[in-house]
Structure 1
Amino acid sequence: MALEPIMLVSNTLEIQIRSALLGLAVGDALGVPVEFESRARRKLDPVVTMRAYGTYNQPAGTWSDDASLTFCLAESLCRGYDLRDLSRRFINWYEHGYWTPHGEVFDIGVTTREAIQRSKAHPELVLAGRTDEYSNGNGALMRILPLAFYQTDAPLRERFRLILDVSAVTHGHVRSAVACLLYLEMAVHLQNQLSPTDAYARLCQEAPSKLYELNIPAQEADRFEVVLSGRLMDRPRTAIDSSGYVLHTLEAALWCLLRYETYAETVLAAVNLGDDTDTTGAVAGGLAGLYYGEAAIPAEWLQVLARRSDIEELSHRLALAVQR
């Protein structure tokens, strides 16, 4: 039986949320079959469309933990800001396949897994993410996008407190939170109809003073020099890393967004950087979907996307929730 079409809220917010979530999931799914494969391999065999099987032996259109945990955050925000609820959803995902494409978890980062296990063993421990410098994988950045639509008019310190805590459910170091902040600032600029180039220029202009206002230690702010140089797009591909380190993922995703001019070109460039292909694809795809819109995502990719109707329905509920 055909599903009834989901009615859109009569404003741009739901369209933006839907485009961002679909864009993230498609970018993730493009990267899943080739995760951990090298850039040299991608140069010989570039990804040009949705593939099946590969690294995890999953059907085409299957997204990974990046999208799953993004959807967990979106679901939680539908009920309001509640870190305990978010933590329970992460546990439910890990143990019972909640918000997975096919009912089981097949991919999870080490830092995320350890944090979920700690929060399960100690239910009072919500901010379970480690705070050491070596726990700065991209597991918070990959799922943070729904916060771009939540309390965007709140004062900077209040917004950063939300980001810091949502990140710290799995990743407690301030570097991960700052990466999330900069990513969300780009998303908000794109929501406000700035082009990627103009959004990036605004980010580079405003971010240093914001980091100072937030009392981010200078040695941490300096870590973002490449991102905030204003010249990220001028760096050659050989200078762009695509590992699971949070700074590499942020730099790579923004580089792809700035260098390419369509949704498809952006996410394919992200995936073809190699290594952590699903996360780079997801992080770039969320911003590209938000800017270019759902109509720019190739129809053949959307047709095979796992649980597409569920993602659309979640977008509808999140739009209603954040407008209350």
Structure 2
Amino acid sequence: MSSVGECFDIGASIKRALLEFENRQNNFASAYNISLEQLDYLRPSEVSNKFNVFCSEKNVAGSGALMRLAPVPLFFYRYPKYAVHFSGYNSKLTHDDQRAYDACRYYGALIVAALSGKSKKELLDDNFYSKHIDWFNHEPLHPDIMTVAQGSYKKKNGYKDGIRGTGYVVHVLEAALWAFYYDEYSFKKGVLAAINLGDNTDTTAAIYGQLAGAYYGYGRLPQKWLKYLYGHSFIKCLSKWIAYEAKRWNPNSVLPLTVTASGNQQQQSNITMDVSTKQHQDSNTNTSVSQPYSPQIAQAHSTKNHKSKSKLVLQTKGGEEQSESRKHTLNIMQPNGTPKALTPQ
């Protein structure tokens, strides 16, 4: 998505990760003899052990993960530990670096605190991390991120004092917080301050806007800017959908989640991921998050049992038979309503 309706730039790290993800999708579809369209309807519980979503190279400390962060803490803010955990998980998808990981965790925690009604003084407290250490599952922040969290951005002269909005995640985190600290409670002033730092201007402003937007709220955004925002109605609709699904989500029925940290070390988290809760079982619709919104899709999803369902079965590699109790059965929508077995070829 773009504020002007056209992609005018993409970071090299993001591009490489997306190409790797696309390659893995193609390989998976080929292995199970299914179409790429059908992949959209596979539940996480069906593919979590068969498809690695972490597509980043090692030591990628760019800002791409941080600038797309907001929907994660917005969704999980009622459960701060989950919000912080999945903020870091968001980073691992494309930026496998401890600094990028912890920048997302820290900023995710700030957004959660803003949504929870914390004051600006509380958000920018040099001891914010230690006061909310349980949100971080008592996991330390990278020293470079901790330096920022403890107030390195509080330099009045900004650029003259070394504040830089570069593509490096530590620099841009510091720059966005500097803009928030000195915005005089004005979203517009904060955005302009972030942009006027130069360098990677759109990224710095986008990261500032996530926290500032959570703190100030929609009503205090410049109306003139909203008027010219591409896809304004769609963004509002999507925001309501996130809020609706977030309210229904709960962590009571979950499966363990393992996050791979830098250095090829496995870190088993105490936080777990909801992959198939009762709330999803109660839903009457099957929704693909990769589908664009359209009246036709909305109409189809509003009609119960609009299309016939078919069952797909994931079998073990080599095609050996499984007992009924070990089969992974999946209900998906197929365009022609015909059943198809997911069998490695």
TM-score, normalised relative to structure 1:
0.62
Provide the residue aligned with 2:239 in structure 1.
315
Counterpart of 2:199 (choices 254, 258, 275) is 275
- For each residue in 1:164-197, what CA deviation from the matched residue of structure 2 results, as whole angstroms up to 9, or x when unmatched? 3221211111211100011111111111222222
Q: 1:130 to 1:194 in 2, by over 3 A?
A: same
1:195 is matched with which residue? 119
Q: Counterparts of 1:13-52 in structure 2 under 5 Å?
A: none
Is structure 2 residue 51 aligned with structure 1 residue 127? no
Return the alpha-carbon distance in structure 2 between the equivalents of residues 161 and 197 of structure 1: 24
Shift of 1:154: 4.0
Mapped partners of 1:206, 1:110: distance in 2: 36
Residues 108, 234 of structure 1: alpha-carbon distance in 2 compared, 3 angstrom cutoff: same
**TM-align CA RMSD:** 2.3
Matches of 2:191 and 2:15, distance apart in 1: 26
Q: Do the aligned partners of 1:187 and 1:287 also contact (CA within 8 Å) in 2?
A: yes
Task: Indicate if the aligned counterparts of 1:204 and 1:230 stay in contact, CA closer than 8 A.
Answer: no
Alignment of 1:1-324 (within 5 A): 63=3, 101-102=4-5, 104-123=6-25, 124-132=51-59, 135-154=60-79, 156=81, 158-201=82-125, 203-206=128-131, 213-214=138-139, 216=140, 221-230=142-151, 232-237=153-158, 238=160, 239-261=162-184, 262-324=186-248
Q: Which has the higher contact order (CA 8 A, sep 6+)?
A: 1
Q: CA–CA distance in 2 between the matches of 1:184 and 1:149?
A: 9
Report the AA paired with residue 154 of structure 2: M
* Number of residue-to-residue matches in the alignment: 219
Alignment gaps of 5+ in structure 1: 1-24, 26-61, 64-100
Distance 1:136 1:317, change over 3 A: same
Letter matched to residue 57 of structure 2: R
Q: In 2, distance between residues paired with 1:316 and 1:160?
A: 21
**CA-to-aligned-CA distance 1:243-283 (integer Å, 9 cap, x gap):** 01111111111111011121111111001111111010111
Between the aligned residues of both structures, percent identity stands at 31
CA contact (8 A) 1:196 1:257 kept: no
Question: Comparing both structures, which one devotes a greater share of its residues to helix?
Answer: 1
- Cα offset for 1:131? 2.1
